Amino acid sequence: MFEAAVRAISRLGYTRASNAVIADEAGVSRGAITHHFASRAAFIAEVVRWVFDEEVLAYRELQRERQIGSRVSDWPRISWEVLSRPSGIAVLEIFVASRSEPELAALIKPVQAAIEELAAKAFRERLGTDVADNSAIRLVVWAMRGMSLGREFIDDPDAMLESVDLLASLLDRAAPNGKIEELLSPPGLSRTR
């Protein structure tokens, strides 16, 4: 059902991808979702968790296949490949919907927080650092999420890759040794919160 939910939500948007549409897409009875989940929000929160599990596998596979990920500048391209998929679009749709659905927001926020922490830990491990600052991973992830949605609004969606490459290039210049520490304390920049 989760795959069907991702397909329907990425294609139709959150609102139009009703439980009935998702059930039809999955080839199950229309009551199957409500039978297994207490509410639509509970089902959708599990969809987000499932997508994250799939994304973790995709990140690992890309890193292994291409032997990349140990430099900060590798992450925009890796993240783009993972987050610009239909599952990434579906998650964005869900995040936007959660802004106006309190029950969904209450379930999604802790899931997203846990996902972010696990992703940041994997990011730090791959980069070989123990720096606990999540600002660099947020920069990359949310830039890629925004660009994946933004490509729907430009004439040549493939041109968004130029922006992905630009961010990778900027990160490479800011961190010539590929280390996250270079980003977090560049000369002449004061970081305040």
pLDDT at 164 over 80: yes
pLDDT at position 187 over 70: no
Span 40-98, pLDDT tens digits: 999 999 999 999 999 989 998 998 999 998 999 999 999 999 999 999 999 999 999 99
- Please give the pLDDT value at position 128: 86
Q: What percent of the chain lies above the pLDDT cut of 90? A: 72
Eight-class DSSP state of 159 = G
Residue 191 binned pLDDT confidence (cut-offs 50, 70, 90): low
Average pLDDT, the chain: 91
Residue-range domain boundaries for the chain: 40-183
pLDDT > 70 fraction of the chain, expressed in percent and rounded: 96
* 157 band by pLDDT with thresholds 50, 70 and 90: confident
Global model pTM greater than 0.75: yes
